[in-house]
Amino acid sequence: MPSFPEYRPRRLRRTAALRNLVRETLLAPSQLVLPLFVRPGSGVRLPVSSMPGVFQTSVDELLVDARAAAALGLGGVLLFGIPASKDAEGSGAWDDEGPVCQAVRALKREVPSLVVITDVCMCEYTDHGHCGILRDGEVDNDATLDLLVRESLAHARAGADVVAPSDMMDGRVGAIRRALDAGGFQDTAILSYAAKFASAFYGPFREAAESTPQSGDRRGYQMDAANVNEALREAWQDIEEGADMVMVKPAGPFLDIVARVKAETGYPLAAYQVSGEFAMIHAAAERGWIDKERAMMESLVGIRRAGADVIITYFAREAARSLTLA
Ligand code: PBG
């Protein structure tokens, strides 16, 4: 490699046109997925206090947001449901008339250009807020699989393109794949939250999804933040069980995991820039400590550069807007 003064890297940084020409990582609206929170009723639009611009809405209002997302060229939406009532086993999760299933049907009818992904988990539906059935204070893995299967089937019946299990039970991807195939839904894809870490950065989401565990935490089923080899095993296991795409979550603090999973599996990879990552950028910008627009774009391009094909982010619309204007 030539060295100074032959090699002057600044030559290609001199103008915006030169920088644009040699930029290595591109971000497109079609790679962004917007999470949406849907609840029963009509005309409902409740702000989430810790996440500016994020709302819990009823299906009619969700369509307004989804149309705006489609007009900006976003790749898709990821749906979370807040049921009318919760119980110990989370039976609202497989209600064909629940908010998620209604939203899926409405989206497939009204906004067909968006990929519709549904979050599959029990924590929004259980009265104790854990991601599965509780037995002696712990989440019972195998008993939970049946509930996740029922939830996935309900979403597939409604017409979801992709179901995305986020519960971190062992064996759930295989159980869901077998049930989807047996039910005639062999074309419904699975995006597994393969490496989902027990993270402090989920705080604001739990207000949005009303899913805070009433006792304990999720360290008994979500991954320890220190583990990379285990993340690779999780990703391979989910792929072997039938996952079509895998996810790493959170994104920003786990970019090495994003890079490793992409490099070693070669599978389509999503990374989830979670609520706390979003809230931190907003909070610092509100105080005038950072430039929100630039911090947003830098965080997103960093996630792409690490190897994510798809980014799930609450910034999806803002980022798409700024990409279209740029
Ligand atoms: C449900 C789920 C969570 C998130 C996505 N799916 C919360 C959790 O595990 O507690 C977090 C998303 C975010 O923080 O934006 N299990």
Q: Specify if 287 maps to a domain.
A: no
Q: Specify if 61 maps to a domain.
A: yes
pLDDT per position as a tens digit, 124-166? 999 999 999 999 989 999 999 999 999 999 999 999 999 999 9
* Residue nearest atom 6 in ligand 1 by C-alpha distance: 166
Cα–Cα dist 195/200, whole Å: 15
Tell me whether residue 249 is one of the annotated catalytic residues: yes
| CB of 141 sitting under 6 A from ligand 1 | no
> What residues does 118 pair with on adjacent strands?
79, 163
Angle, CA 278 vertex, CA 273 and CA 280 arms, to 5°: 125
Residues 279-286, mean pLDDT to the nearest whole number: 98
Question: H or E element: which one contains 269?
Answer: strand 269-273
Pick the atom of ligand 1 nearest to 80's CA.
Answer: 6
| CB of 205 sitting under 6 A from ligand 1 | yes
* Residue nearest atom 14 in ligand 1 by C-alpha distance: 202
pLDDT value of residue 211: 86
pLDDT value of residue 207: 86
| CB of 202 sitting under 6 A from ligand 1 | yes
- Which letter does DSSP use for residue 224 in this model? P
Cα–Cα dist 185/205, whole Å: 30
What is the number of alpha carbons within 13 Å of residue 187 lying toward its C-beta?
A: 4
Q: Specify if 219 maps to a domain.
A: yes
pLDDT per position as a tens digit, 166-183? 999 999 999 999 999 999
For residue 202, the CA-to-ligand 1 centroid distance in Å is 6
Cα–Cα dist 175/149, whole Å: 7
Task: State how far Cα 65 lies from the chain centre.
Answer: 17
Domain of residue 158 covers 26-247
pLDDT value of residue 299: 98
Query: 47 pLDDT exceeds 80?
Result: yes
Residues 271-283, mean pLDDT to the nearest whole number: 98
For residue 270, the CA-to-ligand 1 centroid distance in Å is 15
**Cβ neighbours for 16, distance < 8 A, ≥ 6 positions apart:** none
| CB of 89 sitting under 6 A from ligand 1 | no
Q: How many CB atoms lie within 10 A of CB 277?
A: 22
For residue 218, the CA-to-ligand 1 centroid distance in Å is 11
In the chain, what are the helix, strand and coil shares in percent, each to the nearest 5? 45, 20, 35
Cα–Cα dist 33/184, whole Å: 27
Beta strand spans in 159-198 (E): 162-165, 189-196
pLDDT value of residue 261: 98
Q: Specify if 240 maps to a domain.
A: yes
Most informative mutation of 151, 211, 217, 282 for ligand 1 (most atoms within 8 A of CB): 211
Helices and strands of the chain, counted as H and E runs:
11, 12
Percent residues over pLDDT 70 in the chain: 100
pLDDT value of residue 128: 93
pLDDT value of residue 325: 78
For residue 202, the domain's CATH number is 3.20.20.70
Q: Specify if 12 maps to a domain.
A: no
**pTM of the predicted protein model:** 0.97
Q: How many CB atoms lie within 10 A of CB 67?
A: 15
Residues 198-222, mean pLDDT to the nearest whole number: 91
Residue 44 φ then ψ, to 5° = -95, 130
Most informative mutation of 36, 197, 205, 280 for ligand 1 (most atoms within 8 A of CB): 205
* Residue nearest atom 5 in ligand 1 by C-alpha distance: 166
Nearest in space to 77 (alpha carbons), one of 45, 112, 41, 117: 117
- Which listed residue (86, 108, 249, 262) is catalytic? 249
Tell me whether residue 196 is one of the annotated catalytic residues: yes
Residues 44-57, mean pLDDT to the nearest whole number: 96
Q: Specify if 231 maps to a domain.
A: yes
**Cβ neighbours for 283, distance < 8 A, ≥ 6 positions apart:** none
* Residue nearest atom 7 in ligand 1 by C-alpha distance: 202
Pick the atom of ligand 1 nearest to 273's CA.
Answer: 15
Q: Specify if 264 maps to a domain.
A: no
Nearest in space to 137 (alpha carbons), one of 82, 216, 206, 77: 216
Average model confidence (pLDDT) for the chain? 96
pLDDT per position as a tens digit, 230-263? 999 999 999 999 999 999 999 999 999 999 999 9
Q: Write the DSSP assignment of 106-164 as a string of letters.
A: HHHHH-TTSEEEEEE-STTTBTT--SS-EETTEE-HHHHHHHHHHHHHHHHHHT-SEEE
Q: Give residue 209's pLDDT band: very low, low, confident or very high (50, 70, 90).
A: confident
Q: Specify if 313 maps to a domain.
A: no
Most informative mutation of 56, 120, 121 for ligand 1 (most atoms within 8 A of CB): 121
Pick the atom of ligand 1 nearest to 203's CA.
Answer: 14
pLDDT value of residue 326: 67
Quick one: tokens of 275?
A: 């609520």
| CB of 123 sitting under 6 A from ligand 1 | yes
Question: H or E element: which one contains 101?
Answer: helix 99-110
3-state secondary structure of 232: helix
Q: How many independent structural domains does the chain possess?
A: 1
